[in-house]
Structure 1
Amino acid sequence: MSAPLSAWPWEILGNFKYMLYGPFLARILYTRYQDDTIRNSNWCLHIIILCLLRGFMYQAWTSYTSMLFLTRNRVIIKKGVDFKQIDKEWHWDNFILLQAIVAALGLSMFSDPETLGVWNKKGIIVVLMLHVAVSEPLYYYIHKCFHENKYLFTHYHAVHHSSPVPQVYTAGHATFLEHLFLTIVIGIPIIGSFVLGYGSLSLIYGYVLIFDTLRCLGHSNVEIIPHQIFDKIPLLRYVVYTPTYHSLHHVETGTNYCLFMPLFDALGNTLNSKSRDMHKKISLDSGKNSRVPDFVFLAHVVDMSSAMHAPFVTRSVSSMPYYTRIHLKPFLPISFLAMLIMWAKSKTFLNSFYYLRDRLHQTWIVPRFGFQYFLPFAADGINKQIEEAILRADRLGVKVISLAALNKNESLNGGGTLFVNKHPNLKVRVVHGNTLTAAAILHEIPEDVTEVFLTGATSKLGRAIALYLCRKNVRVLMLTLSTERFRKIQKEASADTQKYLVHVTKYQAAQNCKTWIIGKWTTSRQQSFAPSGAKFYQFVVPAIHGSRRDCSYGTLAAMKLPEDVEGLGACEYTMERGVVHACHAGGVVHYLEGWTHHEVGAIDIDRIDIVWKAALKHGLKPISSIRKIVY
């Protein structure tokens, strides 16, 4: 049984808690249509606006701190935020709802907001005095009690400290009782100013938003305050805390209890002696490169909708497999504007990082959208971006860089061959990962299959799959209009297996084949030629949409990462948590094995089984993707 007031009253509602804002909106609409002058309705409007501004502020701070291409050298606790922490902090905004309800009850006792002034200089002074003289010491005392009292810490405050990496949302991740106290702390200066007759609208908005700004600053885990400012104004270090200062509280919980002013820690003898030196060190190191990743996956954006799946856009959305979300549709114009900016002038940027067997694993993104890869005039620009990323990785000392689907397109750069040939002295290993992709597809096909139909048959993956299967005496119907390309691949097979490679030019040729391997976009009409009960495996990007309810469809080849991966908090496109595309996993295996060759260009058929066994050895697990279409 949980301790009294530890759980939130609306916890059972889950995301339906937002319906509790309904009465506020109902009161506002009612008074507008009825021309009523109920005093509380005006306060309701301001409370709703303030709640929206507060939510936007926390989101903006979270987006900024998650933009590792801007902040990675300023990160304090250098760990990724994992799914477990994200799920714990899912309802971080409970306190905004709580304070909205309390505000509606409290402010309704005062005058109508329309009769208040917009600005009152005396009110600002009163708020500052009450904050310093009452709110700061009161919070310090309460916070200290929650730490030093074993019962209070175990049953209440431990929830807040269960987040291993301080984040902006961590500020709101606490029990109901703690936020009741915080509501009192934030409310005292505002109520005091009204009681003394110095209240104003700007005071309410200003104080609450500044309060939230400082809370976000402390929990951001990104040091943005230069140490020089404290060297020039020594007393300032007792007036405002820093992200480093508050992060130390999460690491060494018996110190740095203050709300925003370290002065009270100094007076209470709870100031962490490391605070100043650590802040200076992180501030100085911000101009240097942080820990160099051993492995980098060079991804790309698929479309304007999936671009909003990036962790720095919405953390909760990116922690779930991608699908088109209706509530994000209104933000598509912003995504479109971002696309234009990136198209005009862009650089490869760092998106996320996590730890793989104590080695730093990072994802970089080429800021190009999927359709741009198919524009002939965009090819040179895209290759330049990829080349710059590879050279940057080489300069940093990265060991392996793996190319995502379209970044290694055969027509674009020959599966990475362009860069390796242009820069023969690269220390970083360039990997397309297609060997493991081929292995994942091939090992998903049942062993008793004797015939398959293959589209995209002359592509890198199509060629490798065809040659591998013919070695297993499996008849491969290779769909291609080019007889020359087919003959070239057929000649690669041994004389006794060439008969298993069959050239076909129409989908009708596979009317009796129940195993289809799709490497080229296939329409609903083309899929209709498959017999009932057929299974569609695929390696086409983007994946085809299944149209046959009597058939089974597979997603793109994927592997589940080892169990000892830490700090992983974002899903890779449509993949489940902890699952990555096989080409991504192929780069991971290349790095873990310490292979020193580049994996570019054509797939070495002899290495398919070697790479597959290496993947299983390192704890990567195959994901069965085949499933029925459900309507």
Structure 2
Amino acid sequence: MAKIAPFSAWPWENLGIFKYMLLGPLVGHVIHSGLQGVDHLASNWCFHIIFISLLRFHLYMWYTNICNMLFLTRNHRVLPQGIDFDQIDKEWNWDNFIILQALLASLAICLFPNGFAHLPVWETKGLIAIVVIHVLVSEPLYYWVHRFLHGNYLFTPYHSFHHSSAVPQPVTAGSTTFLEELLVTTVIGLPILGCCLSGYGSKTTIYGYVLVFDVLRCFGHSNVEIMPHWIFDYFPYFRFILYTPTYYSLHHIEMNTNYCLFMPLYDVIWNTLNTKSWILQKEISLVSGKSTRVPDFVFLAHGVDITSALHVPFVFRSFSSTAYSARLFLLPYWPFAFAVMLVMWARSKTFLLSFYNLRDRLHQTWAVPRFGFQYFLPFASKGINKHIEEAILRADKLGVKVISLAALNKNEALNGGGKLFVKKHPNLKVRVVHGNTLTAAVILNEIHEDVKEVFLSGATSKLGRAIALYLCRRGVRVLMLTLSTERFQSIREEAPANCQKNLVQVTKYQAAKNCKTWVVGKWITPGQQRWAPRGTHFHQFVVPPILAFRRDCTYGDLAAMKLPNDVEGIGSCEYTMGRGIVHACHAGGVVHSLEGWTHHEVGALDVDRIDVVWKAALKHGLLPVSSLPK
């Protein structure tokens, strides 16, 4: 077992979410003082510590969220790669430093009660004093502490963890070891303590210094260059007073340069300034707002419901890095999400949601600002198709090679599985793909070869038709649930003459009471599931998935595939899918792009291509979810 360096691990590392209980005594003191009427909140320092801690937590969290709003920041990023699951996991406990500094602040107040007693709200001299102490003490102190942490002895045990985050984000500032954060706490604490003990302290000075300190740390770690270069052209010396996101990102790339806290002046004084700092900053600033790299592939997604809309990287990064499930903490955000939905319904356009790289090709996920229930409102179909059409035309204009449509964006009743757009715009260069061929392949390859009878609901849909025709060719008897004899006969006539007997129309679920293999393409109730015999396995291609009601039966996952292991920059889960797993229709578009196929995949499925697409997916390293270890 590897030896852990002293003070590298956090004392509360094993507490998990219960680490917040460490602030319990402060909260308890505030409540007790309020009930007893001992202290007014304005003079209760426990209250101020808790309140500042909450402000700091939300500042770092929401600054990170804004940085992950790719539709705003994609052309301002210093490092272009995405945030992956590994970095998110490393930074999971980024807020440890807030807890540490809250505890040390309460200790300082206990040790120096006179210095913090009866501080005024405002003190001008205190503002000047804290700036002077920061510039003359904190800045050089941080510089040398930071530089020593990069030494041969200290870097690996104490600072390498911070640098293991490839792409800086505001929360990366808190992704540190315990000793490292003790040193940073000294840097931020000395100006506050010195100002208060000198008699020039004030509540505004303390609040202002802490929050400005945090804003500047977030700014530098953001990886989003928002500083216009013309400021340095008109005020050349300003570049030595305030660093930029480019300046800090260069420190992550070339670690023996740019050690400063906020002021590059000290890197100039001690000759550790990266000479590319301002050249690169100007280059990035000049291209800001302009489209840079064009994606090869786009997956056009949509919202499912109100709470699942919060499962995006720019709301809760850690939450989106795990498979979606309804959580109690989402409830307070529901009204806000509902209000945003109304605004998006009225005004928003398709926006960039996330991206990843695969085989040196950029893959992006765009989202149509519509939610599941809206697709079933008759008056909304025209507006939804308009959004989808605009996304396709935008992709075509940019030079995207393939655009794949998510579940409801290719609904047969809405646009004929994308056929509407291809027919309307026959000269499209971008290939429109519904991806259902691979979805059918995934489902079909889950059905064992020894199965002789299958019950199929949603039998006359695009997928249902293809599955039925494929299985009947394989000699499987397919009980097709449909009330439309005309549609059933039409599908049956497509089958080879010697296989047509394998397709059987049924109109009730009772017909499947002896069939143990169900393929569900239409949502079924627990009552309808009761007709399945004990030991039935439910394969499904219905969104949302059916309820796992029967304990004596088994339920398959939605048709999905795991992306190849060489995918880079993926850090959010696709709805209820696990990490690195995408819906089969998404994977179908990926395969279409990797293969370089030049045909559109819209409308009815070509049954003869199911095996072709399946073999291509396996060739490129995609794996069906059913083959993964549970």
TM-score (norm 2): 0.98
Q: Distance in 2 between matches of 1:177 and 1:161?
A: 15
The match for 2:372 is 370
Cα distance 1:182–1:138, how it changes in 2: closer, same or farther (>3 A)? same
The match for 2:469 is 467
The amino acid across from 1:162 in the alignment is: S
Q: Secondary structure at the match of 1:90?
A: coil
Q: Is the 8 A contact 2:357 2:569 kept in 1?
A: yes
The match for 1:333 is 335
Q: Is the 8 A contact 2:418 2:433 kept in 1?
A: yes
Deviation at 1:229, TM superposition (A): 1.0
The match for 1:155 is 157
How well do the aligned residues superpose, as a CA RMSD in angstroms?
1.6
The match for 2:148 is 145
Deviation at 1:116, TM superposition (A): 2.3
The amino acid across from 1:432 in the alignment is: H
The match for 1:225 is 227
Q: Secondary structure at the match of 1:115?
A: coil
* CA deviation vs aligned residue, 1:58-114 (integer Å, no higher than 9, x gap): 111111110001000001111111111111111011000000000011123335978
Q: Is the 8 A contact 2:221 2:245 kept in 1?
A: yes
Q: How does 1:115-264 map to 2 (within 5 A)?
A: 115-147=118-150, 149-264=151-266
Deviation at 1:35, TM superposition (A): 2.6
Q: Distance in 2 between matches of 1:625 and 1:617?
A: 15
Q: Secondary structure at the match of 1:73?
A: helix
Q: Secondary structure at the match of 1:189?
A: helix
Q: Secondary structure at the match of 1:270?
A: coil
Q: Distance in 2 between matches of 1:626 and 1:132?
A: 56
* Structure 1: unaligned runs, 5 residues or longer: none
The match for 1:565 is 567
* CA deviation vs aligned residue, 1:456-486 (integer Å, no higher than 9, x gap): 1110000000000000111111111111111
1:77 partnered with 2:71:
no
The amino acid across from 2:88 in the alignment is: I
The amino acid across from 1:470 in the alignment is: C
**More displaced stretch, 24-33 vs 557-566:** 24-33
Q: Distance in 2 between matches of 1:580 and 1:551?
A: 25
Deviation at 1:115, TM superposition (A): 2.8
Report the count of equivalent residues: 627
**More displaced stretch, 175-184 vs 618-627:** 618-627
The amino acid across from 1:232 in the alignment is: Y
Alignment equivalent of 2:613, drawn from 581, 597, 611 = 611
The match for 2:289 is 287
The amino acid across from 2:355 in the alignment is: F
* Deviant stretches of 4+, over 2 Å: 34-41, 107-116, 625-628
1:482 partnered with 2:484:
yes
Q: Secondary structure at the match of 1:393?
A: helix
Q: Is the 8 A contact 1:239 1:263 kept in 2?
A: yes
**More displaced stretch, 37-46 vs 604-613:** 37-46
Q: How does 1:442-521 map to 2 (within 5 A)?
A: 442-521=444-523
Q: Is the 8 A contact 2:352 2:364 kept in 1?
A: yes
Q: Distance in 2 between matches of 1:86 and 1:553?
A: 31
Deviation at 1:210, TM superposition (A): 0.6
The amino acid across from 2:47 in the alignment is: L
**More displaced stretch, 105-114 vs 41-50:** 105-114
Q: Is the 8 A contact 2:43 2:118 kept in 1?
A: no
The match for 1:67 is 69
The amino acid across from 2:146 in the alignment is: H
Deviation at 1:554, TM superposition (A): 1.3
Q: Distance in 2 between matches of 1:155 and 1:551?
A: 51
Q: Distance in 2 between matches of 1:41 and 1:276?
A: 46
**Identity across the alignment (%):** 67
Alignment equivalent of 2:351, drawn from 349, 352, 366 = 349
Q: Distance in 2 between matches of 1:401 and 1:16?
A: 45
Deviation at 1:272, TM superposition (A): 0.6
The amino acid across from 2:149 in the alignment is: F
The match for 1:315 is 317
* CA deviation vs aligned residue, 1:461-515 (integer Å, no higher than 9, x gap): 0000000000011111111111111111111111111111111111111111111
Q: Is the 8 A contact 1:50 1:205 kept in 2?
A: yes
Q: Secondary structure at the match of 1:443?
A: helix
* CA deviation vs aligned residue, 1:433-457 (integer Å, no higher than 9, x gap): 0000000000001111111111111
Q: Secondary structure at the match of 2:428?
A: coil
TM-score (norm 1): 0.98
Q: Secondary structure at the match of 2:356?
A: strand
Deviation at 1:303, TM superposition (A): 0.6
Q: Secondary structure at the match of 2:545?
A: coil
Cα distance 1:536–1:627, how it changes in 2: closer, same or farther (>3 A)? farther
Q: Secondary structure at the match of 1:624?
A: helix
The amino acid across from 1:219 in the alignment is: H
